[in-house]
Amino acid sequence: MQRPLYVCLLILFLHAGYGQQVAVLKYQGGGDWYANPTALPNLVQFCNTAIGTALEARTATVSAESPDLFQYPLLHMTGHGNVLFNEAEIENLRTYLLSGGFLHIDDNYGMAPYLQEQLPRLFPDKTLEELPADHPIFKGPFAFPEGLPKIHEHDGKRPQAFGYTHQGRLVLLFTYESDLGDGWEDPEVHNDPEAVRLKALRMGANIVNYAFKN
């Protein structure tokens, strides 16, 4: 069966080195999708320096229903509040993920209850499963033998990474009770120790590495 043009383009972006720009996912519902404005640019800079990626320094913003979604091999989504997707957005996101895209959702404290309602709509036939500590995303380029690191305390619960897998490939990663994005922000925003920021950035680099190589 012939692939749609946007699928072919996304495959080219992923494997031929074109369009290596990451984007923040804008969503409806009233949640602050724009939280942590310095996080993604800092992560991009770290990845280009530490693991040799060639990501564009300028990050983008894209809406869930936009056809431009397919220009970005990696989407990052964060916030503290409500998340709402309409049916067209769900369909577009599902097609994007099944076509080779990758979505990282980082709970900035407060998203989880809303995501529990929205994420099952993406893949009604799949279960959002917790990733074990030996999942490839925790193995390199930086080793995290205990799995997802704890960056901010929040409710004091253990950090957890959940995901949807399609044909053996992780397509959606939901990080909970970790708050990687806060650790990626400029140092003066949260005054995290440098060791904590480095841990967050290294885990972020693992996510970028996985998204671009799998």
Per-residue pLDDT reduced to its tens digit, 113-156: 999 999 999 999 999 999 999 999 999 999 999 999 999 876 77
Per-residue pLDDT reduced to its tens digit, 34-62: 999 999 999 999 999 999 999 999 999 99
Overall residue count recorded for the chain in this entry: 214
Per-residue pLDDT reduced to its tens digit, 16-37: 444 489 999 999 998 899 999 9
Name every residue whose Cβ is closer than 8 Å to that of residue 34 and which is 6 or more positions away in sequence.
24, 26, 61
Domain edges within the chain:
5-213
Name every residue whose Cβ is closer than 8 Å to that of residue 153 and which is 6 or more positions away in sequence.
none
- Return the closest-CA partner of residue 196 out of 208, 177, 182: 182
- pLDDT in the model for residue 191: 79
Alpha-carbon distance 76 to 39, whole Å?
10
Name every residue whose Cβ is closer than 8 Å to that of residue 160 and which is 6 or more positions away in sequence.
130, 148, 175, 176, 177, 178
CATH topology of domain 5-213: Rossmann fold (3.40.50)
> What pTM was computed for the model?
0.90
- Return the closest-CA partner of residue 73 out of 209, 187, 203: 209
